Amino acid sequence: MKRRVKVTIEDFAPLRENLNNPEELALYEAANGHTYDAEIEHDGYAVIDLPDGDYIELAPGEYQIMIEEWTKAGTIGALTLETKSDPADDKALLYRLVDASGAETEPPRSLSKQVVELLGKTWFGKK
């Protein structure tokens, strides 16, 4: 499944240990901080085809899934809950409430993706 991801490698030491080719390591360094379309594998790894014909493979902690436009997350009464990635924090999502005309009724609030995931597991997780 293709998803929009941002490369967020914080520690290059494990990559330096596993990659023997400096040119391959340079691909990861150049991609870091940039957003790409990636194929997310069943094991959580992301494969990014780079523009020059090369590719990189990222472990789950080396990228963040990005939602670049406001996306409907659900409804609360007559209001619509929308979300998108927080441009100030790659590990957070913005949420806002809008009315039927699209006007904000509550300003955007930032929540950590980890908090959102934990709340989802607590409320809707199956034992």
What is residue 41's DSSP assignment?
P
The whole-model pTM stands at 0.82
Burial code of 13-25, b = ≥16 C-beta within 10 A, e = fewer? Answer: eebeeeeeeeeee
Domain boundaries, the chain: 2-65, 71-124
If the chain, 127 residues long, is cut into consecutive pieces of 10 residues, what is the mean pLDDT of each piece?
A: 94 88 92 96 95 92 95 95 95 96 94 92 79
Cα–Cα distance measured from residue 15 to residue 38, given in angstroms and rounded to the nearest whole number: 19
| CATH class as words, domain 2-65 | mainly beta
Structure tokens at 82: 């929308």
Residues 6+ apart with CB under 8 A from 125: none
